[in-house]
Amino acid sequence: MIKQKACEWKQPIHGPKTIKRNRAFLKFFVMFIIGQIVSLGLIACAPISLKTSTTLPDPRNLRYPSLQCNFPKVERRQLKNGMIVYLLPDHEIPIVNVSVIIRTGSIYEPSDKVGLAGLTGEVMRTGGTKSFSADKLDEELEFHSIHLNTSIGRESGRASLSVLTKDLDKGLGFFFEVIKNPVFHSEKVELAKEKRIEKIRRKNDSPQKIAFREFRKLLYKGDPRGNEATIAGTQKLTRKDMVWFHERYFHPDNMILGLSGDFQKEEMMAKLEKLAAGWSPLPEPLPPAPVPQRPDVKSINFIAKKIPQSIIVLGGFSIPKNHQDYFAFSILNDILGGSGFNSYLTEEIRSDRGLAYSVGSFYTGYNDYGVFGAYCFTGSSNTYVATSLMYRIIEQVKSGGISPQKLQWAKDSILNQFVFSFSSSHGLVGQMISLEYDGLPRDYLDTYRENISKVVMEDIQRVARDYLKPEKYILLVLGNEESFDQPLTQFGGPLNRINIENY
pLDDT tens per residue, range 379-424: 999 999 999 999 999 999 999 999 999 999 999 999 988 877 777 8
Whether 68 maps to a domain, the answer reads: no
Number of separate domains in the chain: 2
> Among 242, 275, 308, where does a domain finish?
275
Whether 400 maps to a domain, the answer reads: yes
Residue 2, pLDDT score = 37
What is the CATH number for 79?
Answer: 3.30.830.10
Residue 409 sits in the same domain as residue 477:
yes
Residue 376, pLDDT score = 98
Residue 213 sits in the same domain as residue 357:
no
Q: Tell me which residue range forms the domain holding 166.
A: 75-275
| Residue 66: burial class (beta carbons within 10 Å; 0-12, 13-18, 19+) | exposed
Residue 114 sits in the same domain as residue 81:
yes
Query: Could you tell me which residues are beta bridge partners of residue 158?
Result: 101, 151
Whether 41 maps to a domain, the answer reads: no
Amino acid at 373: G
DSSP state of 501: S
> Among 275, 310, 344, where does a domain finish?
275
With cut-offs at 50, 70 and 90, classify the pLDDT of residue 54.
low
- 9-47 burial: b if 16+ Cβ within 10 Å, else e: eeeeeeeeeeeeeeeeeeeeeeeeeeeeeeeeeeeeeee
Residue 237 sits in the same domain as residue 316:
no
Whether 252 maps to a domain, the answer reads: yes
Residue 354 sits in the same domain as residue 406:
yes
Residue 245 sits in the same domain as residue 316:
no
Whether 284 maps to a domain, the answer reads: no
Mean pLDDT for the stretch of residues 484-489: 95
Residue 180 sits in the same domain as residue 314:
no
Whole-number Å distance between alpha carbons of 133 and 126: 9
Mean pLDDT for the stretch of residues 135-149: 97
* Mean pLDDT score across all residues of the chain: 89
Cβ neighbours around 195 below 10 Å, total: 12
Residue 115 sits in the same domain as residue 195:
yes
Residue 174 sits in the same domain as residue 216:
yes
Residue 177 sits in the same domain as residue 118:
yes
Whole-number Å distance between alpha carbons of 136 and 129: 10
Residue 269 sits in the same domain as residue 347:
no
Whether 173 maps to a domain, the answer reads: yes
- Looking at per-residue pLDDT, the higher value among 493 and 108 belongs to 108
pTM of the model: 0.83
Residue 129 sits in the same domain as residue 196:
yes
Mean pLDDT for the stretch of residues 301-327: 97
Whether 368 maps to a domain, the answer reads: yes
Whether 285 maps to a domain, the answer reads: no
pLDDT tens per residue, range 334-388: 999 998 789 999 999 999 999 998 999 999 999 899 999 999 999 999 999 999 9
